[in-house]
Amino acid sequence: MTNSPAADQTGKIVAWYDRHHRDLPWRISPPMAVRGIRPDPYRVWLSEVMLQQTTVQAVKSYFALFTAKWPTVTDLAEAETEDVMKAWAGLGYYARARNLKKCAEAVAFSHGGRFPDTEEGLKALPGIGDYTAAAIAAIAFDRPAAVLDGNVERVISRLHAVDAPLPGSKPLMRALVAKMTPGERPGDFAQAMMDLGATICTPRRPACALCPVNGSCTALASDDPERFPVKAGKKEKPVRLGAAFVAVDETGAVFLRKRPGHGLLGGMTEVPNTDWTARQNGATGADAAPFDAAWHDCGTVVHVFTHFELRLTVFRSRVGRATAAGHVAGPGWWEPEESLAGEALPSVMKKAIAQAIPDAFQPRLRSQAAMQSRG
């Protein structure tokens, strides 16, 4: 890269990264790279998929769990889908988990266990879009790919005071990042931009005095950095209604069933609930229950999805299995309360169960209470 303003900015950002990079469990840091340690494309891919719409702090424990259970992409490909969904439960955006399994199978069984090393090859895999392909290509394979996530958008939009609102300004921002992306150490540059956005060029009260490129930041010189990136006005999220039914048998087991393998929360475990969707309300009364019983209103839980807010009225009933047999709509099973936490329950269903059974996911408290009652 010639000694252009963009090259000068790139050099300063990479030098800052060498000194101030975050230590992350999936990352090969500059000192590690000096020792000859190379990125594992599997770990890069897994972390990038997990990090979509999720914080670094939330991902760390999931990443540790996945890499301990399935150390290689072939291990993940050969895993039971149900086990993968259970391990993913709580991380959200469950289509990612389904695509994760499909992608692992494609790499393991169609590519000999090796990830393609180009953006185009990566984008041909299930669940890998423009951003993820660019990130893997740059970080795992040192390809000069323009990586543009939310943190990078913030840095580049402020550096150039990009007035056009997102998402329409993405192509311009990607072109600006591409101009800065070096042929040497493109992966470190991509991660440097991410770290800069996460730790210095933050959404509120950015630490501009510590920024390595503050001398050439257009927003800092002539505007308010916090105004960038400019975003189109947000539409108010619609509110959808529904009901959830927590049936408990004589042993304390909870009736669960499996959602269809497609659509919202596809393939996940749930308690029976009504036919709400992102576009329509479901029934909200006890008369929509899967079988006749003395259903008690336990209140309402609220869960916010990407495009809508869901409010579920939660009902609970204690019933004998014999009473429920033959009346429950669709196949399902009775899950012992002590193993509920190990099921592939999305957050909204955990909220519903906890609303009906407050200590459902606190087995230690339950066991202590049981011991006290016996004593």
In this prediction, residue 370 carries a pLDDT of: 42
pTM of the entire predicted model: 0.84
Instruction: Fill in the amino acid letter for 89.
Output: A
Q: Decide: residue 347, CB within 10 A, 0-12 exposed, 13-18 middle, 19+ buried.
A: middle
What domains sit in the chain, N to C, each tagged with a CATH number? 5-227 (1.10.340.30), 239-368 (3.90.79.10)
pLDDT score recorded for residue 322: 75
Catalytic residue among 48, 270, 337, 343: 48
| CA dist., res. 272 & res. 257, Å (int) | 7
What is the pLDDT, as a whole number, of residue 45? 98
Active site residue 184: no
Reference 187, options 131, 138, 143; nearest CA is 138
Identify the CA nearest to 243 among candidates 293, 292, 297, 317. Answer: 297
The terminus-to-terminus CA distance of the chain in angstroms comes to: 76
pLDDT digits (tens, 9 = 90+) for 170-227: 999 999 999 999 999 999 999 999 999 999 999 999 999 999 999 999 999 988 999 9
Q: Which residues of the chain have pLDDT under 50?
A: 1, 364-375
